Amino acid sequence: MGVPAAGTLRLWPRRPPCKRGASLGFGGALLILGAGILACALTATDARAQKASKDLADKLTPVQLAAYEAYRTARDKFEHQLKYYWRRVEAKRDARRAKRMLAQEYEAQDYIAQQPPKFAGPELPSDVAKIVEEVAPATPQRPMATVAEFLQSAKAQYGFVPTLTTEREFKRRYAEEALAVGLTKDQVVRIYALETGGQGTYDMQSGINPISKQGRPISSALGYAQLLHANSTSELVKHGERFARRLLAMAALPGTPPDRARALTAKAAIVRHMHKVARSIPNEWSHHMRFAGTPVGLGIHALNLDADVGPWLQVLKLKGLKDDAAAAGRDSLSGSQIELMNLAGPRTGLEMLLPVAQNMPTSNFFSAGGYYRNTIVRDRTAAELIRALDERMEVNLKKPGAVEFAQIFDEAARR
């Protein structure tokens, strides 16, 4: 067939989709993980690559081999350009970080003004792509933990079984907590509309349709605010003792039924134990991410499903974003601006609101993985992203869950 000797043919298996990044608090209908994400290429071992190259060479005709080599040549050149682009982005980001530490203002030259390069072809013919896939199929990903596993870990690690309730009651408690800490109906309901598609349930996990319950988890994001498992750990570190004391105060209220009082007291003890475990690791996001993926961390994430603690946990996460903005001199935030901070991280979200950053590509503010994983982020400027968030919110505000949530907010405000 005129094919090269074994070991000389370059085989590039199809890339699996990336896992969701830690910096992202974005869930449900908004996040779509694309297969073949550039930032998640797997590198095969030399031995495997050589064996696969021989196997592939034996299956390709000369015409197919020529097409494959043309594709790989073009793809190699593009990926070199792409790596160079993201190295420049990282260098600019490091420089801005240094400026921030020196309290210096950002300038236009502190950003990359061009969008990431795109592959211009030639594409791999479908018959060749099929053979490549057969010879070296994509490595299966480790499945994401599910709600069932959060609950299982909570029970096994802490003896904790969340108190369940109706959607309407969970929304009512959520609205009351939000209003009590100064969040508005517009802010909270718009975030709910975006994060859950306007119809999310309080046990909704990112990637699972809340109505049909079909799909597969694409991240640990959970609930109305779609908190990641590491968010739950971080919020418990900040507020765990406060949660426990409040549960005890609820148990001591006159007229509380004895069974309910005992359950609240026991829950307070469990929350204190979780708090102690969460505080046993360094209080840094990277450590929280690693911890959150373990059974003890997954068990803490189940707090979001509890009718007593879940609304507090998620509302305080949103309030923390509002407080960060106030500390930076932004006392008034729209729902889309809070969501931007939730999506990109508080500091980066605030940076994207600066006039100098508004017309800069969103690639300046996300890791390569985060950029390609979030369809709403790609090929936009910071200002265009905010508009896209608002537009998505407007559409989803008309969905039944968002309409009900808004009505419940009005009822809570009147009370």
Let me know whether 213 and 121 are in one domain: no
Let me know whether 306 and 359 are in one domain: yes
Let me know whether 191 and 80 are in one domain: no
Residue 328 domain-assigned (yes or no): yes
Let me know whether 288 and 330 are in one domain: yes
Let me know whether 198 and 342 are in one domain: yes
Let me know whether 284 and 372 are in one domain: yes
What is the pTM (predicted TM-score) of this model? 0.82
pLDDT of residue 370: 86
Residue 38 domain-assigned (yes or no): yes
Of the candidates 82, 109, 135, which is a domain's last residue?
Answer: 135
Residue 14 domain-assigned (yes or no): no
Residue 376 domain-assigned (yes or no): yes
d(CA 237, CA 272): 10
Residue 21 domain-assigned (yes or no): no
Q: Tens digits of per-residue pLDDT, 39-57?
A: 343 333 333 344 447 788 7
pLDDT of residue 275: 98
Of the candidates 93, 110, 135, which is a domain's last residue?
Answer: 135
The count of structural domains within the chain is 2
Residue 140 domain-assigned (yes or no): no
Let me know whether 211 and 339 are in one domain: yes
Let me know whether 102 and 206 are in one domain: no
Let me know whether 95 and 163 are in one domain: no
Let me know whether 356 and 246 are in one domain: yes
Regions in the chain scoring below 70 on pLDDT: 1-52
Q: What is the 3-state secondary structure (H, E, C) of the chain?
A: CCCCCCCCCCCCCCCCCCCCCCCCCCCHHHCCCCCCCHHHCCCCCHHHHHHHHHHHHHHCCHHHHHHHHHHHHHHHHHHHHHHHHHHHHHHHHHHHHHHHHCCCCCCHHHCCCCCCCCCCCCCCCHHHHHHHHHHCCCCCCCCCCCHHHHHHHHHHHHCCCCCCCCHHHHHHHHHHHHHHCCCCHHHHHHHHHHHHCCCCCCCCECCECCCCCCECCCCCCECCCCECHHHHHHHHHHHHHHHHHHHHHHHCCCCCCHHHHHHHHHHHHHHHHHHHHHCCCCCCHHHHHHHHCCHHHHHHHHHHHCCCCHHHHHHHHHHHHHHHHHHCCCCCCCHHHHHHHHHHCHHHHHHHCCHHHCCCEHHHHCCHHHHHHCCCCCCCEHHHHHHHHHHHHHHHCCCHHHHHHHHHHHHHHHC
The CA-atom distances, in angstroms, between 375 and each of 19, 30, 341 are 14, 8, 17
Of the candidates 92, 109, 135, which is a domain's last residue?
Answer: 135
Let me know whether 409 and 303 are in one domain: yes
Q: Which structural domain, as residue segments, surrounds residue 235?
A: 147-414
Residue 39 domain-assigned (yes or no): yes
Residue 19 domain-assigned (yes or no): no
Q: Tens digits of per-residue pLDDT, 311-368?
A: 999 999 999 999 999 999 998 889 999 999 988 989 999 999 999 999 999 999 999 9
Let me know whether 73 and 159 are in one domain: no
